[in-house]
Amino acid sequence: MYSTRIHESTISKLIPEVCKATYKHLKGRYIKTPHTQEAWAEIAAGYEKNWNFPNCIGALDGRHIISSPPISAGSYYHNYKWTSSIVLLGLVDANYRFIYINVGVNGR
């Protein structure tokens, strides 16, 4: 697809490394998971104030990201539609800010 002097197999190993390093260094700045009861109560208050939805501590959603599994994976990455995918899960507060993200679970 793109003309580079780096072999495909090398790029396929570098991309996950770069993504993990980026996530590690930026998650604290942009994804703040509450660790106290007061912080969770503040999120619940935001849902009640903004959306008239009491006792809610987050909106949760997930997606299957279609991917090409490793050759030796067999059916490990197959989801319920029998396509290969990785699951993306996200939890947001009342202001659409991510407070939790999980990426990389196999397709089940």
pLDDT digits (tens, 9 = 90+) for 69-97: 777 777 777 777 778 888 889 999 999 99
Domain-wise residue ranges, the chain = 31-106
- Could you write out the DSSP letters of every residue in the chain? ----SS-HHHHHHHHHHHHHHHHHHHHHHH-----SHHHHHHHHHHHHHHHS-TT---EEEEEEEE-PPPGGGTTTTB-TTS-BEEEEEEEE-TTS-EEEEEEEEE--
* Averaged pLDDT, 51-57: 96
**pTM for the predicted model, two decimal places:** 0.69
